[in-house]
Structure 1
Amino acid sequence: MTIQKIQLYQRPSSCLAIFRLLAPIERQLIMNLLWLESAIPTSTMAAWVIREGRKMYEDALGTLGRLHILPTATGKLALNSTFKSAFRQAITGGGTSGSFGVPAPPDDKRTPTDLDTLDAFALERWETILHYMVSSGSGQAPTKPSQGVLFLLQRSGLMANHGSILQITSAGFQFLLHSPHDQLWDLLLQYLRLAEERQMDLVEVLGFIFMLSTMELGREYSTENLSGTQKAMLEDLRDYGLIWQRRPTSRRFNPTRLATTLTSSSPPLPTSTGTSSGPQEGFIILETNYRVYAYTDNALQTAVLNLFVSLKYRFPNLVVGSITRESVKKALMNGISADQIISYLITHAHPQMRKNNPLLPVTVQDQIRLWELERNRLKSQEGYLYTAFASQADYDFVLTYAKELDVVLWENAPKRCFFGSVDGHANIKGFIERRTLGTSS
């Protein structure tokens, strides 16, 4: 892993992308050391830190050490030489490595791709994934993602097979609670794990992702300088909405806003919020009578609400429904927890709701949790009931044997019966038959 990180640091674009992802104090430490030609004692750097910031400073050193940007367990501080050289090149320019991508030559026969087209493509691809997750394979999603996306959703645990249908899991609903930026990184991290299983070069995979994050939105880039691994990634990244191509075989591509904002604080889509496009502020009002008013005309946000709300009316910019025992039970059956439902309502609460203290009605929160406890009160398990024993001695003898096998799920001594698991039935049945034959003999 250390060797892979050093190889990654040979690319100026990777160093710049990693720098953008670091915390402010970690970036400050790097900039203080970047132009020094020799190491400085750790005591010199520590002297600049006030007492209240000591823990934050030590945590920053630990993070940079794990990334192999700074040395660990030494008395002096100096940036990794490979990282320092490449990062200097990233911020000062120069070099011919094509680390930041090679712009495609001008072509008078082509109409330049405008930003609206790129944004529309990225939004369509991204919301296709989220719509399919929310619809849980019910066929309500407008379009179906590619097989590669479906495989990734399943392998990452965001969706699971129930018969022949993929359904959203508890982890999948938690994924919907995140911002689009966090959602995108969650999927890309899962993609990295999948790439490792496919024995793809992780340095090439991660290097290409970092390269995309440093490219210029609206500019066309050439695929000629990409490695074989990176060219193979183009199809996957198209499915996620990170790049746009006129044709799958095109030798040019455009990074979308989803890609160019990976390592920045800018929104990945111009109208994104929460799970999708829509109003920039919260849009849900919840009353004490369990009635829900959602001020949105976004189909995806409405579909998410439909996971745990019984929808009654739909207007051009308003959806009305109620949280009921049946709607919450349906959500619980899909693996969504009561705390996740409450968290979603809090995250997307209307500004008018945020004036309340507490924000959500306590009675509604408690009832949602009670409905969850009600469902968890009973558990079903297949097995066999053993009863009608001839004597107490026979019952005790067989029960003792079943307990030794650890297959007893329930027992009732006064009625001389017990319930055993399916796995232990063959052994118990054989034991009873042998005892019966022995008694007869």
Structure 2
Amino acid sequence: MTAATGKTEGQQERSLHALLPFLQTQSQTSLTRMYQRPSSCLSIFRLLGAVERQLVMNLLWLESSIPTSTMSSWVTKEGKTLFDDALAWLARLHILSNNTTTKLGLSPAFKTSMRHAITGGGASVSFGVPAEPDEKRPAPTIDALDAYALERWETILHYMVSSGTGQMPVKPSQGVLFLLQRNGLMAMNQGQLQITSSGFQFLLHTPHAQLWELLLQYLQMVEERQMDLVEVLSFLFMLSNMELGRVRAFYEYSTESLSDTQRAMLEDLRDYGLIWQRKAKCIFHASSRRFIPTRLATTLTSSVPPLPTATHASGAQDQGFIVLETNYRIYAYTDNPLQTAVLNLFVFVKSRFPNLVVGSITRESVRKALVNGITADQIISYLTTYAHPQMRKNKPLLPVTVQDQIRLWELERNRIKTQEGFLYTAFASQADYEYVLNYARQLDVVLWENAAKRCFFGSVEGHTNIRGFIERRTGGGG
């Protein structure tokens, strides 16, 4: 085994999936329970880095542990750091046995389940139980499932960028809105939910990264919702290993083998577009006893794009679609309503055509974005990320004058800060002024002072104490 891949330590850290830091914070008991399911072990194996996967495969078929020195002897000098980091991650995830200083071996639960996942042994319920085909009610096609997942997912994104702008986008479920608030992607402003700076940064991520960011927040809320974390994770891993469809017919999966926690998750996952369910036949059931995972679910632990139909502007979003001129004019070659809505956050749109949006970056449009919590650097980052291929020939990529002006508009807004408080003036003498001012200084509530005019400005929090102090002084005849 050679671990000399040419990557630095920092690059190795960045290659790890966002879920792994969350998993390493869980107890060994919880992880061992999860490792008893082959689908969970296979999914976690996919999320590991290249060196970690290679270590697991080298140890998987060994019946006993081997000396750590033996494994280390296979590693090149340049790859020693990557090898040590990989061992540390596997140990923190309790995939390796506790003692890694002398001997290396996989934990029994992980080894058994991983072998079953690869060879096809073990309980099939770990990968879902297919339901019998219903000839009277045929399942949707792959294209219909993709359209359904795309519509659900873009409903969430479109609401984020359109809320607070006067538009009336389709509103996601209350569960989705609560999740967006808890994750800091949206915040209440004057009675309305509006996108935050973190939410705008969220839009720059890939759909796969966006989905996992929401799912991680969902996992953080499991305990307060009195759900079993192991069951939640196991269900997500189960979905990631299910089949989207087959050549002859679709598989619908039965809910009969699911736990109570996993059945409760079905409604949440429908809101995100991960699950498709038909309406129940019986009025006594809230939903059907069958479900179908969409591509959003089956690609959770793979590198395959979760929304292949999202780039319906001839691949414009992948290659870049924005042309920015030195006169602040913008040409966006897209017919995607979501991308147009994002541009509306910081661009004054002048004209719209079937596949082109024309607008300009103005002081007012940038100030509107700044009010919504979007920073100048995020605007510049968005323009850079989605720059048209023709613009990528320029050096620098974006006109320097435009970048500087956007930052100046931000500094202009941040130049003056307002703070509520009370102005104390009309003191009878210099001694009275200094006496009250010293008391306010002790409370650390003085925001501004002018000795020549015998006045100072104090914060709202200190007003009650200062007023009481003055009243006691004047009441005492001072």
Which TM-score band applies after superposition, normalised by the shorter structure?
over 0.9
User: CA offset at residue 113 of structure 1?
Assistant: 1.9
Output aligned runs, 1:287-306, within 5 Å: 287-306=325-344
- For the residue of structure 2 that corresponds to 1:328, the secondary structure is helix
The match for 2:133 is: 106
Q: Report the CA distance shift for 1:190/1:316 in structure 2 as closer, same or farther (over 3 A).
A: same
Output aligned runs, 1:340-355, within 5 Å: 340-355=378-393
Distance (whole Å) between structure 1 residues aligned to residue 88 and residue 385 of structure 2: 32
User: CA offset at residue 100 of structure 1?
Assistant: 0.4
Output aligned runs, 1:279-428, within 5 Å: 279-428=317-466
The match for 1:206 is: 233
Distance (whole Å) between structure 1 residues aligned to residue 390 and residue 273 of structure 2: 35
- For the residue of structure 2 that corresponds to 1:267, the secondary structure is coil
User: CA offset at residue 322 of structure 1?
Assistant: 1.0
Distance (whole Å) between structure 2 residues aligned to residue 129 and residue 253 of structure 1: 22
User: CA offset at residue 192 of structure 1?
Assistant: 0.8
Pairing partner for 1:245 from 277, 289, 305: 277
The match for 2:16 is: none
User: CA offset at residue 110 of structure 1?
Assistant: 2.3
User: CA offset at residue 273 of structure 1?
Assistant: 5.4
Output aligned runs, 1:172-211, within 5 Å: 172-211=199-238
- For the residue of structure 1 that corresponds to 2:359, the secondary structure is strand
Q: Report the CA distance shift for 1:36/1:177 in structure 2 as closer, same or farther (over 3 A).
A: same
Deviations 1:129-167 (A, max 9, x none): 001100125462541101111111111111111232111
Distance (whole Å) between structure 1 residues aligned to residue 312 and residue 52 of structure 2: 28
Gaps of 5+ in 1: none
User: CA offset at residue 277 of structure 1?
Assistant: 8.4
Distance (whole Å) between structure 1 residues aligned to residue 124 and residue 147 of structure 2: 32
Decide whether the 8 Å contact of 2:313 with 2:335 is kept in 1. Answer: no
Deviations 1:352-395 (A, max 9, x none): 11111111111111111111111111111111111122222111
Pairing partner for 2:88 from 59, 62, 68: 62
- For the residue of structure 1 that corresponds to 2:158, the secondary structure is helix
Gaps of 5+ in 2: 1-26, 246-250, 280-285
Amino acid at match of 1:26: E
Distance (whole Å) between structure 2 residues aligned to residue 69 and residue 360 of structure 1: 47
Distance (whole Å) between structure 2 residues aligned to residue 390 and residue 293 of structure 1: 65
Moved more, 108-117 or 173-182: 108-117
Deviations 1:53-81 (A, max 9, x none): 22111111111111111135531110111
Pairing partner for 1:223 from 243, 255, 259: 255
Q: Report the CA distance shift for 1:274/1:331 in structure 2 as closer, same or farther (over 3 A).
A: farther
TM-score under structure 2 normalisation?
0.89
Distance (whole Å) between structure 2 residues aligned to residue 424 and residue 26 of structure 1: 57
Amino acid at match of 1:23: G
Deviations 1:83-103 (A, max 9, x none): 010000001102234100011
Q: Is 2:465 the counterpart of 1:433?
A: no
Decide whether the 8 Å contact of 2:162 with 2:169 is kept in 1. Answer: no
Moved more, 181-190 or 39-48: 39-48
Amino acid at match of 2:295: R
Amino acid at match of 1:221: Y
Distance (whole Å) between structure 1 residues aligned to residue 159 and residue 345 of structure 2: 13
Decide whether the 8 Å contact of 1:179 with 1:275 is kept in 2. Answer: no
Distance (whole Å) between structure 2 residues aligned to residue 276 and residue 75 of structure 1: 56
The match for 1:78 is: 105
- For the residue of structure 1 that corresponds to 2:405, the secondary structure is helix
- For the residue of structure 2 that corresponds to 1:37, the secondary structure is coil
The match for 2:196 is: 169
User: CA offset at residue 105 of structure 1?
Assistant: 1.1
TM-score under structure 1 normalisation?
0.96
Amino acid at match of 1:34: L
User: CA offset at residue 271 of structure 1?
Assistant: 2.7
User: CA offset at residue 48 of structure 1?
Assistant: 1.4
Decide whether the 8 Å contact of 1:173 with 1:336 is kept in 2. Answer: yes
Distance (whole Å) between structure 1 residues aligned to residue 403 and residue 83 of structure 2: 40
Amino acid at match of 1:33: L
- For the residue of structure 2 that corresponds to 1:319, the secondary structure is strand
Deviations 1:244-263 (A, max 9, x none): 01115211111000000111
Moved more, 176-185 or 69-78: 69-78
Amino acid at match of 1:155: R
Taking only the aligned residue pairs, the percentage that are identical comes to 75
Q: Is 2:255 the counterpart of 1:235?
A: no
